[in-house]
């Protein structure tokens, strides 16, 4: 009897895991079980409706131009996996079930639905190696999460365990990501010509790392663009303990700000201990040649070992410093930490204020030390008349490897070498993933006598910097 039961279990286990195929010359009346015109299905939707936990679907190259809806949920140990061959083309994919993997597709030419990939579940999803491009309608985003009615998500329902990596997003008129999520990772993505924010973020304990954001332009949207934005609003929103690590934000001259973080208006707690927006960390990020400032209006933010060059690069006094802590109605930017950052040629140019010598605003409340500030290269990286820290470095050539091409690595002899605070109890690597040695260096890069290519390590999506632009290899 036990042997029979085991044989029955084995048969059920084998039967529950299948590999299906989709081809442009297939037919939905086929079994889907062989990779041939006579065996494969014709549409991705047929596969999405049929596949169950543990199944794999291989979608061959071609233009399917479908609006796909997920039809089944996988499980923790047996997700449903869809893999494209040479990035087959779709319009949209609505992921309304959990434990689904979507790998190596491209999305464009959407005419409805408002986002190429929409996440409408409690997640446990992987979205990898996808390309989303030419979303020219100002209402269309690349990837977003929504609630059951398509509206803002209340915090108990936010998506969790999302993993979005090695995707390319280009010519997006609205946000690249609008995410209500927790315990999730967005890494190694490449965003080119995004017309609004790279990321709108609500939720807790997320990691945003090793992404490239470049050539941002002001799209057909109101207000301004941001690398990241959060704000109080409906649905009892919150955003805490989020980490931004080793991102490259470069050559975004179309009104893009480093960030815009708000606790919300008078209806939201302005108290440091009880408001629902706090404790964000920015470390090892590189900001080069971006238009606007970083408006920080939430408490307990940490800025460590970032490099800012001509960021902000606007000549507007509204963008005077890379980190501007705001403490007023709707903003509660205080009680943070700003250390080991390299600020070079940042802010507006005004002779009375020292010719692009922005760093952080003098009214900022919190811990501030071990930073370096220098002016424009054409003014010999001049000192700031207002910068004063016990262990800071005021003025001097940081000896960038090739900053005109976006390479912000420091060279031998840089005054940023060996003068930073040792933060190894919090993290141990630099922008490229190299281990930091003692004594630490200021900025995103640890000085290395024989450096590599200066890009973040571990699956960075194969991008290089040439002539001041980030381009495909």
pLDDT digits (tens, 9 = 90+) for 375-393: 998 889 999 988 999 999 9
Which helix (H) or strand (E) element contains residue 175?
none
- State percent of the chain over pLDDT 70: 83
**What is the predicted pLDDT for the residue at 219?**
53
pLDDT band at 236 (very low <50, low <70, confident <90, very high): low
The 3-state DSSP composition of the chain as helix, strand, coil percent (nearest 5) reads 10, 35, 55
Residue 288 predicted with pLDDT over 60: yes
Nearest Cα to 161, choosing from 110, 196, 119?
119
For 364-375, what is each residue's pLDDT tens digit? Answer: 678 899 999 999
Nearest Cα to 228, choosing from 265, 186, 270?
186
**What is the predicted pLDDT for the residue at 3?**
41
- Global confidence as pTM: 0.90
**What is the predicted pLDDT for the residue at 351?**
47
Nearest Cα to 170, choosing from 201, 204, 207, 130?
130
3-state secondary structure at position 467: coil
Which has the higher per-residue pLDDT, 22 or 139?
A: 22
pLDDT band at 461 (very low <50, low <70, confident <90, very high): very low
The DSSP result for 299-324, as a single string, is SS-EEES-EEESSS---SGGG--SEE
For 250-277, what is each residue's pLDDT tens digit? Answer: 998 777 888 888 876 544 455 555 578 8
Per DSSP bridges, beta strands 92-95 and 80-84 are unpaired
Distance CA 437, CA 337 (A): 22
Query: How distant, in Å, are the alpha carbons of 7, 29, 228, 347, 446 from that of 413?
Result: 71, 70, 34, 26, 13
- The strand pairing partners of 79, in sequence order, are none
CB contact at 8 A, 112 and 67? yes
For 19-47, what is each residue's pLDDT tens digit? Answer: 999 999 999 999 999 999 999 999 999 99
CB contact at 8 A, 196 and 219? yes
For 189-202, what is each residue's pLDDT tens digit? Answer: 999 999 889 999 99
- The strand pairing partners of 68, in sequence order, are 93
3-state secondary structure at position 455: coil
**What is the predicted pLDDT for the residue at 153?**
61
Burial 417-441 (b: 16+ CB within 10 A, else e): bebbbebeeeeebbbbebebeeebb
Mean residue pLDDT across the chain: 85
Query: How distant, in Å, are the alpha carbons of 291, 407, 445, 463 from that of 453?
Result: 26, 9, 12, 10
CA 417 to chain centre: 28
Nearest Cα to 127, choosing from 176, 192, 66?
176
* Contacts of range 433-442, beta carbons closer than 8 Å, 24 or more positions apart: 433/246, 433/457, 433/458, 440/305, 440/340, 441/410, 441/414, 441/416, 441/417, 442/305, 442/340, 442/341, 442/342, 442/370, 442/371, 442/372, 442/393, 442/416, 442/417
Distance CA 375, CA 372 (A): 10
**What is the predicted pLDDT for the residue at 8?**
36
Which residue is listed with tokens 């596969």?
A: 47
The tokens for 372 are: 């370096």
For 404-416, what is each residue's pLDDT tens digit? Answer: 888 999 999 999 9
């Amino acid at each position: 009897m036990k042997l029979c039961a085991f044989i029955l279990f084995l048969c059920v286990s084998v039967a529950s895991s299948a590999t299906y195929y989709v081809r442009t010359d297939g037919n939905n009346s086929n079994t889907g079980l062989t990779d041939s015109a006579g065996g494969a299905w014709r549409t991705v939707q047929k596969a999405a409706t049929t596949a169950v936990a543990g199944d794999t679907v291989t979608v061959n190259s071609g233009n399917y131009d479908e609006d796909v809806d997920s039809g089944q949920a996988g499980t923790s140990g047996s997700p449903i996996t869809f893999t494209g061959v040479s990035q087959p083309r779709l319009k949209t994919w609505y992921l309304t079930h959990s434990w689904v993997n979507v790998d190596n597709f491209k999305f464009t030419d959407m005419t409805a639905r408002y986002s190429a990939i929409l996440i409408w579940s409690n997640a446990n999803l992987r979205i990898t190696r996808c390309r989303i491009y030419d979303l020219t309608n100002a209402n269309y985003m690349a990837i977003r999460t929504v609630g059951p009615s398509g509206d803002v998500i209340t915090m108990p329902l936010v998506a969790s365990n999302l993993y979005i990596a090695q995707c390319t997003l280009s010519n997006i008129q609205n946000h690249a990501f609008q995410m209500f999520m927790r315990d999730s990772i967005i890494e190694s993505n490449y965003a080119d010509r995004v017309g609004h924010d790279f990321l709108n973020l609500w939720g807790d304990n997320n990691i945003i790392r090793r992404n490239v954001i470049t050539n941002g332009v002001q799209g057909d949207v109101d207000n301004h663009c941001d690398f990241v934005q959060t704000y109080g609003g409906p649905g009892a929103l919150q955003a805490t303990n989020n980490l931004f690590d080793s991102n490259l934000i470069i050559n975004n001259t179309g009104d893009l700000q480093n960030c815009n973080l708000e606790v919300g208006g008078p209806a939201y707690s302005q108290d440091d201990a009880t408001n629902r927006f706090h404790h964000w960390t920015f470390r090892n990020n590189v900001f080069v040649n971006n238009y606007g400032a970083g408006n920080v209006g939430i408490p307990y933010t940490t800025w460590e070992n970032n490099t800012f060059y001509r960021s902000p690069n606007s000549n507007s006094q509204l963008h005077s410093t890379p980190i501007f802590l705001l403490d007023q109605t709707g903003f509660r930017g205080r009680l943070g930490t700003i250390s080991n950052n390299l600020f070079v040629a940042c802010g507006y140019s005004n002779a009375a204020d020292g010719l692009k010598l922005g760093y952080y605003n003098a009214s900022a409340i919190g811990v501030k030390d071990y930073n370096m500030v220098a002016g424009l290269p054409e003014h010999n990286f001049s000192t700031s008349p207002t910068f004063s820290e016990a262990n800071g470095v005021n003025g001097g050539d940081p000896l960038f490897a090739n900053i005109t091409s976006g390479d912000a690595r420091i060279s031998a002899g840089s005054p940023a070498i060996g003068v930073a605070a040792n933060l190894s109890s919090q993290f141990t690597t630099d922008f490229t993933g190299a281990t930091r040695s003692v004594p630490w260096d200021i900025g995103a890069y640890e000085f290395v006598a024989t450096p590599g290519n200066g890009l973040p390590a571990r699956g960075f999506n194969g991008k290089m910097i040439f002539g001041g632009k980030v381009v495909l290899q």
